[in-house]
Structure 1
C-alpha cells in the first residue's frame, strides 16, 4: 500500500464530501485507540474545523491519558483542531438507575449503552457546530466481524477508514507520526471497567481475522489454528450480519394496499 497516496486520497475525499454537504468540518470521539487517532488526524489534514471529544464513562485512566496525549499533539500541529472533555459517567448512571434489574445488570447491554450515549453526544455537538460525525471503524470490524455497537460507534455520517484493515490503519498512523503510546497500545473498545482487549474478546488477532476475511479456499490445506480462526470469523460474521445490511423493511404487496 502506498501510504502517502492513500492519506492524500482520504483527505481529499473527506474535504470534498464535507464541502458538498455544506459542512463546516468534523466531530470525532477520541478513545485513545489507533482508529480514532488516525481518523482524527486525517480529518485535521483537510484544514476544516475538527472538534475532538473525550467522553469518559468510568474510563480506564490509561485510555484517557493516551487520548489526551493525542489531542494535545493534534492541537500543536493543526490550528483547525479544538477539543471538548465531556464526562458522561453521571449521564450513564442516571439512565442505568431507571432501568429494570434485568437491563441494568446485563453487562453487554450496559457496555453498548455507553457507546450509544457517546453517539448522542457526538451528534449534539456536531449539529450545533454545523459538522459531520466522522466514524472510526476499520474494514475487519465494520464488514468482517461486526465488532462495533449498532447505533453507537456505528452511528456516523461518513467512514473514512472503513476500507482499510487494522494493519493498514497502523501503517497510516506510523506514516503520519501518531503518538507512540497509541501505536503501541493493545486495541480495546473501551466499553468495560476492566482492561480487556479487542483480541481477547474476539479470540483472534487482527492479522488473523484479516486473513480469514480474505480466505477463499476449501479448508483442506489449513492448520488447526487457521481452522479455529476461520470458525471464529464465521461465527462473528453471522451473528453480527444484521449490523452490516440495510434495516429490513416489510414490503406490503400492491394487492393489499
Structure 2
C-alpha cells in the first residue's frame, strides 16, 4: 500500500497557527478550549492552539478512564504549561454524571447496542462540558478530528467529539498528524501509544474497532478518491477497501449537512 508524501511540517504548523489566530480575531473570542484525551490528536491540537498566544484551556473529562489515557494526558498538559504561559487546565470528573444518567434510562436492550450508545453518551457529555467552559470563558471549542476520521470513515460521535466550533487538523491524514506532532515534540508516550478513542474505559484500539489501521485507511481513502481499480488490489487491500467504503457509506449522515425538508411553492 503506497501512501502520499509527508507534509512540510514547519510550513503546515505556521499555516494552522496563523489560521487559528485569524479565526479567533474575527470571532472576537479569547482563545480555545480543548478536551485532552491522552491521544495524539488532542495533544497536537492543543499545542497548535497554544502557539497562537491566546488563552488555551485544556480540559480533562474522565469517565471511568483507563489509567494510561489519564497519565498520558496529564504528562502532555504538564509539558504544554511549562512551554506556554497562556495555557491552563482543569479537570471535570464526569463519572458521577455518567452513572446518574445510566440510572435514569432503560438498560434492558441489546447489549452491543447499549454499550455503543453509552460510549457515544460519554462523548456527548464531554461536548456539553467543553461548551460550558467555552461559554463562561469566551472561548472556541477546538475539534481534534483528523481527515480519515472526519471525512473518510466517520469515526467520531455525532454531537459528541463531532460537535465543535473549528477543526484545525481535519485536513491532515493520521500519518501527517504524527509527523507534525513529532516535529512539535509531543511526549513519546503519546506518539508511541496505539490510537484509541477511550470511550469504553479500556485500551481497545481504534484499529480493533475499525478493522484496519490508519495507514491502511489512508491508502483506501486515496484509492477511492483516485478511483483506482480494485482488480489490481492484493487480498488485504480488497478487505481494507471494503471496510473503508462500508464505513464511509454508513456514516454519511455524520459527514453531510442535516437534511432539510424545503418548502418551495406549495
* Fold equivalence (TM over 0.5): yes
> Using the alignment, how far apart are the partners of 1:104 and 1:211 within structure 2?
34
Matched, 1:32 2:43: no
> Using the alignment, how far apart are the partners of 1:174 and 1:193 within structure 2?
27
Count residues with an aligned counterpart: 255
Q: What TM-score, normalized by structure 2, do the two folds share?
A: 0.94
5+ residue gaps, structure 1, are: none
Correspondent of 2:120 among 112, 115, 122: 112
Q: How does 1:1-257 map to 2 (within 5 A)?
A: 1-102=7-108, 106-215=114-223, 216-255=227-266
Asked if the contact 1:103–1:110 (Cα under 8 Å) also holds between the matched residues in 2, the reply is no
Question: Shift of the alpha carbon at 1:164?
Answer: 0.2
Asked if the contact 2:65–2:202 (Cα under 8 Å) also holds between the matched residues in 1, the reply is no
CA deviations over 1:169-208 (Å, ceiling 9, x no partner): 0000110011110000000001002221001110101011
> Using the alignment, how far apart are the partners of 1:66 and 1:53 within structure 2?
13
Q: Which segment drifts farther, 193-202 or 76-85?
A: 193-202
5+ residue gaps, structure 2, are: 1-6
Change (3 A) 1:22 1:104: farther
Asked if the contact 2:33–2:130 (Cα under 8 Å) also holds between the matched residues in 1, the reply is yes
CA deviations over 1:120-159 (Å, ceiling 9, x no partner): 0000000100000000000000000000000000000000
Change (3 A) 1:135 1:103: farther
Question: Shift of the alpha carbon at 1:253?
Answer: 3.2
Asked if the contact 1:139–1:164 (Cα under 8 Å) also holds between the matched residues in 2, the reply is yes
> Using the alignment, how far apart are the partners of 2:67 and 2:107 within structure 1?
28
> Using the alignment, how far apart are the partners of 1:193 and 1:118 within structure 2?
14
Asked if the contact 1:25–1:132 (Cα under 8 Å) also holds between the matched residues in 2, the reply is yes
> Using the alignment, how far apart are the partners of 1:66 and 1:149 within structure 2?
22
Asked if the contact 1:103–1:109 (Cα under 8 Å) also holds between the matched residues in 2, the reply is no
